[in-house]
Amino acid sequence: LLLASQVRLVMKAHSFIRENVPRVLSSVKDKSGTVHIPRISQYLYFLFAPTLIYRDNYPRNPTIRWGYVATKFAQVLGSLFYAYYIFVRLCIPQFRNSSQETFNLRGLVLCIFNSILPGVLILFLVFFAFLHCWLNAFAEMLRFADRMFYK
pLDDT at 127 over 90: yes
**20 in Cβ contact with 37 (< 8 Å):** yes
Question: Which one-letter amino acid corresponds to residue 91?
Answer: C
Q: At what angle do helices 105-127 and 92-100 cross, to 10 degrees?
A: 160
Picking from 57, 56, 53, 58, the residue whose alpha carbon sits closest to that of residue 11 is 53
* pLDDT value, residue 28: 74
Q: What is the pTM of this model?
A: 0.73
* pLDDT value, residue 150: 54
Higher-scoring residue by pLDDT: 32, 71: 71
pLDDT at 67 over 80: yes
Averaged pLDDT of the chain: 86
Mean pLDDT of 100-109: 79
For residue 60, the cross-strand partners are 144
* pLDDT confidence bin for 112, thresholds 50/70/90: confident
